[in-house]
Amino acid sequence: MAKEKKFCWGSALVGATAAAAAALVLSAKPRDPTFHLISIDLTSFKLNFPVLDAETILTIHVTNPNVVSIKYSDTNMSIFYAGSLLGSAPIQAGSQPPRSCQLLRLPARLSGLQLAQHGKKFLFDVGQREMVLDSTVDIKGAAKVMWWNHKFKVHVDSHVIVDPVFLDVIDQDNKSHLDIFVKS
pLDDT at 4 over 80: no
Check residues 32 and 124 and name the one with the higher pLDDT. Answer: 124
Give the count of alpha carbons within 13 A of 42, CB side only.
12
pLDDT at 69 over 60: yes
| Mean pLDDT of all residues in 72-93 | 95
Sign of CA dihedral 122, 124, 129, 131: negative
**Highest mean predicted confidence (pLDDT) among 15-19, 62-66, 168-172:** 168-172
Element (H, E) at 121: helix 119-128
Q: Which domains are delineated in the chain?
A: 31-181 (2.60.40)
| Mean pLDDT of all residues in 91-117 | 93
| Mean pLDDT of all residues in 165-171 | 92
- β-strands 100-110, 169-181: how paired? unpaired
The torsion angles phi and psi of 151, rounded to 5 degrees, stand at: -75, 150
pLDDT at 178 over 70: yes
pLDDT band at 80 (very low <50, low <70, confident <90, very high): very high
